[in-house]
Amino acid sequence: MISIVIPAYNEETVISETIENIHSVLIKQGIDYEIIAVNDGSTDNTDSLLGKRNDIIFISRKINRGYGFSLKEGINKSIGTQIIIIDADGSYPIDKIPSLIKESSGYEMVIGERSGGQGSMSIFNKIAKLTLKILIYFLSSIWIKDINSGLRIFNKELAEKYWSIIPDGFSFTTTITVAALIEQSRVKFIPINYYPRVGKSKIKPVQDFFSFVILVFRIISFFKPLRFYLPIAIFFLIATIIRAIRDIIMFNSIETAAVLLFMISLQTFFFGLLADMIVSKFNSRTK
C-alpha cells in the first residue's frame, strides 16, 4: 500500500485535475494506493470540491497551520508503508510518480530533483536557495542539488524517525532531506521537470529563507554538533591570537579582552565536544 498525501491551500483551480491525474497514472500501475488530501484552512472552494469526492480520504481544517503540519496530518492518517507527497499546484510531473515508486525498492527515500522545465522560482528564491545549499555543504560536507523538492517517496518509518524535529511550515522537506543524508540513509535523486504553478505562491521568501537557515543550524547541531561548534571555537581562537598580539605590541601584556575571547573559544569547543558525545551515545542506543 502506498499513501499519496496532497496538502492544499487555496487550490480550487487545480486540485481536482491533480487528483484525477494521480488516479489515471496509478491505476495503470496495478498497485494498492490511497490518496489523502488535506485542506489547510483554504478560503476559496478547495474545501467544498474535496468534500464532494468519494475517491479520496479527506482531512479538512478551518485554520491554516502550514505545509508541514498538513503533511504530518496526512501521514498520521495513512495506512501505507510508503508515503508519496506532491503539491496540488500542478508544478510537479505526476507521470514521474511510477519512476519514483520503481526506484524506491532499494532506497529509504527517492526525491524528484527539479532539473528541467520552466518553474516559477523568482531570482531572490534562487539566490536564497543557493546560499542555503552552500551553508548546508559547509556544515555537513554534503552538496544537495534540490533540498526541498515537493515530489518524493519515502518509507513512513523514516518520517516517524525525525517526527520530533520536523517543523509545521515549509521546512518539512528540507528537514527530512538533510537529516536523512547526514545519518547516511539510502537516498536517491532522480531528475524531473518543474512547471509554473497554477495560482499564487504561498512562500514568503525572506521569512522562509531565515527559517531555513535556523533550521539547518538546528539539524546540524542535533546530529553533528562539532560541525556547528568547532568553527565558532576556531573563530574566537583566531580572534584571541589577534587581540593578544595587539595587546603585546601596544601594552607589552595580554589584556582582559584577549583572555575573555580565549575562554569563549575554550568553552565553545568543550560544549560542542560534550554535545557530540551525548549525540553519539544516544545514537548508539537507538540503533
Task: Supply 247's cell numbers.
Answer: 595587546
DSSP assigned state of 108:
S
Model confidence at 204, pLDDT cuts 50, 70, 90, reads: low
User: 57-61 and 2-8: which strand pairing?
Assistant: unpaired
User: Which residue is listed with cell 528541467?
Assistant: 116
Among 230, 239, 224, 83, CA closest to 163:
83
Task: Tell me: pLDDT of 286 over 70.
Answer: no
Q: Are both 178 and 247 inside the same structural domain?
A: no
Q: What is the pLDDT of residues 137-163, one digit of tens each?
A: 876 778 888 888 999 999 999 999 888
Q: What is the pTM of this model?
A: 0.80
Lowest mean pLDDT among 24-33, 48-57, 99-108, 168-177: 168-177
**Sign of the dihedral through C-alpha 76, 77, 81, 84:** negative
Which of 192, 223, 254 is the C-terminal boundary of a domain?
223
Q: Are both 214 and 241 inside the same structural domain?
A: no
Q: How many structural domains is the chain composed of?
A: 2
- The alpha helices in the chain, defined as continuous H runs, are 15-27, 46-51, 67-77, 97-103, 123-140, 156-161, 172-182, 205-223, 225-251, 256-286
Q: Are both 12 and 139 inside the same structural domain?
A: yes
Q: What is the pLDDT of residues 158-184, one digit of tens each?
A: 999 888 888 777 778 988 998 888 888
CA 8, 41, 57 angle in degrees (round to 5)?
55
Q: Are both 37 and 91 inside the same structural domain?
A: yes
Name the β-bridge partners of 187: 109
Q: Are both 70 and 145 inside the same structural domain?
A: yes
Q: Are both 138 and 60 inside the same structural domain?
A: yes
CA 273, 274, 275 angle in degrees (round to 5)?
90
Q: Are both 259 and 271 inside the same structural domain?
A: yes
Residue 171, domain CATH: 3.90.550.10
* Mean pLDDT to the nearest integer, 21-25: 95
Q: Are both 102 and 68 inside the same structural domain?
A: yes
What does the pLDDT read at residue 283?
Answer: 62
How does the average pLDDT of the chain come out, rounded?
86
User: Which residue is listed with cell 533550521?
Assistant: 215
Name the β-bridge partners of 230: none
What does the pLDDT read at residue 225?
Answer: 85
Cα distances from 157 to residues 1, 80, 92, 279, in angstroms, run 14, 10, 24, 20
- What percent of the chain lies above the pLDDT cut of 70? 89
Report which residue type is found at 272. Answer: G
Which of 168, 193, 223 is the C-terminal boundary of a domain?
223
Between 271 and 207, the more confident residue is: 271
137 C-beta neighbours (distance < 10 Å), count: 12
Q: Are both 198 and 279 inside the same structural domain?
A: no
Task: Tell me: pLDDT of 200 over 70.
Answer: no
What does the pLDDT read at residue 75?
Answer: 96
Between 107 and 285, the more confident residue is: 107
What does the pLDDT read at residue 167?
Answer: 79
Q: What is the pLDDT of residues 205-263, one digit of tens each?
A: 566 667 767 777 777 777 778 888 999 999 999 999 999 999 999 988 888 999 999 99
What domain range includes position 229? 225-286
Give the three-class secondary structure for 115. Answer: strand
